[in-house]
Chain A
């Protein structure tokens, strides 16, 4: 790699948009991927279909990254609002490509060192919204020039991205692209050109967490999905609709979340692996049924892809403010498992585990995602399909039943898990219920039976802790400073940890992947630190409170909270921690 080649490039495309604005970043992504870069792609949109301000962000980096970069190297701004929004994040040597159709650029707040290219998009007759694609191809012409990519390579990518369009549309786009190239080449003053590296890397997947979680469920034998659309979880439903048919997956769009979760519950009772997916408001509606699955001991997997709450909140913005609801919501005491993947690859792995765990422990398993993990695309290593092994827990079939003298659906066992015959199995007739009942499934409010049943259910967790996914941890075990965060924080925490370590700070981090029950390792990690920064996207420090409740030392916990719908940046976090540390 040559010294002036970019190791890390952040591009933002923003304007009054709609989906079109993603096109530029995706063509560019294709190009960078071919050059061996890793990608992290996200967007920032309003909750409306067209119009409203929308931004697409793309990070290309030679090291794998799980979050956006601190600074924007190249901004493609279709209006002033885009510039104002991005101004504080512009890299000192950044470039802004500005659409002058609606007026000149107001440079206020922009460092002089930033290169500005004003493109009179109007001149290229692309003002008509219906020809947005040309606008994108035109800007890609400019962009590819700045990145000193030769025409053939760029057109190649363009063609690939538009492969589903008819040839005449492709040609029209290439013409627009050429205009952009020409415009750039004729600029009186050209900005410094950037050079991309060209390295080999293994083939990766560019995938979102929502897609990966659906894939993991499928790989782990999931064959029934009932859902109801909701931002930012809808893609899980859409994925199983798209890919499920090949595997015979039954997918139902229900009339609401109550129906969705109860259909999944019904299917789960037949022994089919079943899942539903939703976001905060829908998950709130599902509370009663989650308690029911806990009581009746039915394997049920529920994805909650969190968005900014409370209530309708900000549907397209990220947050981690349903931790409390996932861990503590719903009526009564019952065993549940909450798993929180740290990125799309982990989404796949934990979806596999969740699907198995539900079978093994016969209880609800919740997959805690957040909007970023759910919807941002990241390059990740191919999923390890060979490692997917199905666990069936205590399912019994007709032959086994025949050898048993008694079959009690809610038999009180040492590990709390009871044998389970599904409907259709001769000799396995039984009652499944959310009432308290005896071992036979018959309603009982006998106090002693009640105690035994509550204890039995709790024992399912207590005696199976070894099955639960361990956290992701790095750094010197003796370090006094710790970072702790879940879900989408992993990407940024890893980067912060690397940077601070590089500066000589002795620091370690933990991303718990089992959120409930809180594992000993989590409390041990917390209590092994003098100071542990618990990084959360919510206002109430829900994760920190959870840890405290489970025995973490209060003194060491420092909460770093953000709840404005925007992700943390690594630089931002480093600065916060350094400032805090300086105060010690």
Chain B
């Protein structure tokens, strides 16, 4: 590779790095993204300049392919509602993985993976890439509620997965051994190339089987795990193609996915393994003891008058339900209203509130909430003591004190929560007493002096509260 191209790729990598460095503050983040995109352009241009095509067809194919992909990508990116981010990320991650797998596949087909190093990294790329492709597709269709919603299980699932995985390993060994193993086993038709195809298919299947049993709400973890995979696959193909932009970029993406996955699982208070292999347990809504307990049910008017007369400092805790109900707009209006009453309003955002890390922040900023009002768990928890009212909208798990209760071991045991129970008053805005995703009942519901339960759809409810405030 010429020095110029090499340096161009290096510059691209440096721009990726700088871009991510700028993601540290909302002020600089956007420019960071632009820088990274710019790096990408440099890498592409550099590639164009050095490729001399084998057939006249090549350029049209390349150009056409990029054009089609770009249009699909841009349109869907422009159209997707912010609530649909998890799907979107899953989709893009999937196509990325697919691209990587196909590239590696063709490396084998063109017989360019002679050295064992090339073969090994190539195999890794095929396996991880295709796995993360099919996995992401399933994740997407789950989140989009196209198919497989909920957790699909069938007997001996784990066993089947294990077998497939094993066969992948054997086939890979066969590839590295130049087909010798197949010969020995008397399966001469399994030459290396065929084996690679088989591996490709098997990995696709494995990806599907790996994701279908996992419940919709655990998808974000799966997605960021797959994101990490794709990153590593990219890095691996950086080895194969001896391209440092790929190598460096891929590695960093891998790190990103790994860290986010780790953060999530620790914010969920349960180890990754548990999430992946017992995601079902969590989804299948735990102990819902239906003996009637008394709650202090309140109306929009009651909530409104309390807020108006007794609350000076208000903290709002948004949850998944807010997103489902599309209630960001009314949420923002309520905030404006309370502030115009001279009250102090802050948002307390749990790391896994919603269905994706940082998802709530995006949803609220979209509605118009300035980001200096959005507080992380660590920052808001100390403030609940001097808070007069906490309005919890479509959230449960992230404020459920049961998580801290040593006695019983629930899906959220050990998960750090927003300590809303320290506030003077707690106002729940949700449709029923039904618990959240983790299916753990919330003792706060039944604390009748502290808690007001306002049963309603989040969107409607917030509008009514605002209405009530105005008419006070």
To the question of whether A and B form a pair in one complex, the answer is no
Binding site for A on B (CB under 8 A): none
Binding site for B on A (CB under 8 A): none
